[in-house]
Chains A and B, each alone.
Chain A
């Protein structure tokens, strides 16, 4: 085959695709991994996982709790705990404006939502972080909500499940953000001593101070497929060592191989997996049956 005849169809293909994109906008989403056009409705049913290649799209915090709890039933907790601006932090924009903008655009009160309910019949206190609220960053309010969640679980013999999704500690609250790592980890220490379960689910991306505190402290650490998980971000590492990073570095599968995760679980199997683990870990009414 000559190069001439090879090139021609390629051009046609391209224009077809452009056309298709315009026509289908609003109904379809294109999978960035396998290029399949996916019905939005279908994608919602499959929990934002590509039905062809199992690529995991980002998933909202509320949706995570809706799909974790039995019948999607749970009581929201600490929605009134929100960020203030203790440092009066201003970068290119005042922090206080960033908070307000994040609330509007994400429809969430904070970078984490939390609730209590039943999972497979077990009493569970769960939190889910959301990247759409200032990059899922952890400030004082996030730290406080997680700490309260853990304290409640301890008091009532419940389990804790947290979905992490975060760029790390929130810079705009400075060292106060940093100390949330200490605060949450200390609460987890208490929960651990009480013999109660904590399942940590790390989703794309989980980095910085969130990974280096509660996200890595699960009795069981679960990663979603191909999620970026690490302490330092890939760019920071590249700048420090001045070399390209190996393929698949800091992805869930890499962490599994290096012993940092117990398992990598497809989002569609997550709830069943959590229930299986809770059955082992809990000695409540549900487990005795």
Chain B
């Protein structure tokens, strides 16, 4: 795996949050064909922080779930900065169950600072919505591929993150808490975010080494705000192409699994995670 590791972790966090990175919807509309969006959790409302639908990847029908940030203030507000409320997680699970019913694989794109911390979200059971997804995703009888696109924000990311394969873009991060949040609690100073980012081991390479991530999709450039837009456009296609090839490769492997083997293998994958002494 050729992955550069000279970029400091906190710099990665900033790159992962860069609004010029590929967002879920960009990929739904370019990497996939015939994307059609479906809405609502059939319980309360529709959450625009997560986009769900069906698309075709190289002609293969798949269910798509993607957390979506916004690029300008209006979009950000509309998408609630990709911070889902319970109805977002419930919509995602509803789409997964539809995929299961019609025997289609599921692809989830993670890009969120975290689940929404608000009164209404708590009232409607934010914790329950996340927890229930974790349990139900463990039992899905169709292949699930998870891609961490940008920011993998804690439980809010994991709630669509139980996959047979977990892929990560090179500059994406995945963490139990934001470096700022961690710094505020442990250092009592949100300004120590850089130190916290070093300690949290949240980069793709470190997570790969811990066995939490199966493959890193290399990015030829830093998705930095300093780059010229034209340059980013070309590299967007390049990264998108590598990601597509990787997803297809894993899909082809996973469709060979029997339903029970899929569940057992997924169980064993997450069962091994963590380090403790015996």
B window 133-181: CB within 8 A of A: 134-136, 138-139, 154-155, 158-159, 161-162, 174-177, 181
Give every chain A residue within 8 A of B115 (Cβ-Cβ).
Answer: 212, 231-232
Q: Which of A47-55, A100-108, A111-119, A185-193 contacts B (4 or more CB under 8 A)?
A: A185-193
- Cα–Cα distance between A179 and B207 once the two chains are bound (Å): 11
Q: Are A91 and B212 in contact (CB under 8 A)?
A: no
Q: Looking at the assembled complex, report how far the CB atom of A209 sits from the nearest CB atom of chain B, in whole angstroms.
A: 5
Q: Which of B25-33, B90-98, B120-128, B247-255 contacts A (4 or more CB under 8 A)?
A: B120-128
Give every chain A residue within 8 A of B195 (Cβ-Cβ).
Answer: 91
Contact flag A211-B127 (CB < 8 Å), given A91-B186, A169-B176? yes
Nearest opposing residue in chain A for B264, CB measure? A190
Q: Are A171 and B158 in contact (CB under 8 A)?
A: no
A window 38-96: CB within 8 A of B: 80-84, 86-87, 89-92
- Does A9 interact with chain B (Cβ within 8 Å)? no
Contact of A171 among B123, B155, B185, B212 (CB under 8 A): B185
- Number of residues of chain B lying within 8 A (CB) of chain A: 54
Q: Are A231 and B271 in contact (CB under 8 A)?
A: no
Q: Looking at the assembled complex, report how far the CB atom of B159 sits from the nearest CB atom of chain A, in whole angstroms.
A: 8
- Does A246 interact with chain B (Cβ within 8 Å)? yes
- Does B275 interact with chain A (Cβ within 8 Å)? yes
Q: Are B275 and A216 in contact (CB under 8 A)?
A: no
Give every chain A residue within 8 A of B181 (Cβ-Cβ).
Answer: 236
Total A-B pairs, Cβ < 8 A? 198
Give every chain A residue within 8 A of B138 (Cβ-Cβ).
Answer: 182, 185-186, 189-190
Contact flag A216-B131 (CB < 8 Å), given A175-B207, A189-B139, A258-B123? yes
Q: Are B118 and A183 in contact (CB under 8 A)?
A: no
- Cα–Cα distance between A72 and B56 once the two chains are bound (Å): 59
Contact of A213 among B124, B134, B196, B201 (CB under 8 A): B134
Q: Are B267 and A84 in contact (CB under 8 A)?
A: no
Per-residue contact bits, chain A 168-181, to B (CB 8 Å; 1 contact, 0 not):
01111111111111
Give every chain B residue within 8 A of A187 (Cβ-Cβ).
Answer: 267, 271
B positions within 8 Å CB-CB of A: 115, 117-119, 121-128, 130-132, 134-136, 138-139, 154-155, 158-159, 161-162, 174-177, 181-182, 185-187, 195-196, 199-202, 207, 210, 212, 266-267, 270-271, 273-278
Beyond contacts A182-B138, A232-B126: 14 other A-B pairs, Cβ-Cβ < 8 A, are A81-B277, A87-B199, A92-B186, A172-B199, A175-B210, A176-B210, A181-B158, A186-B134, A209-B154, A212-B130, A213-B134, A231-B115, A231-B121, A240-B117
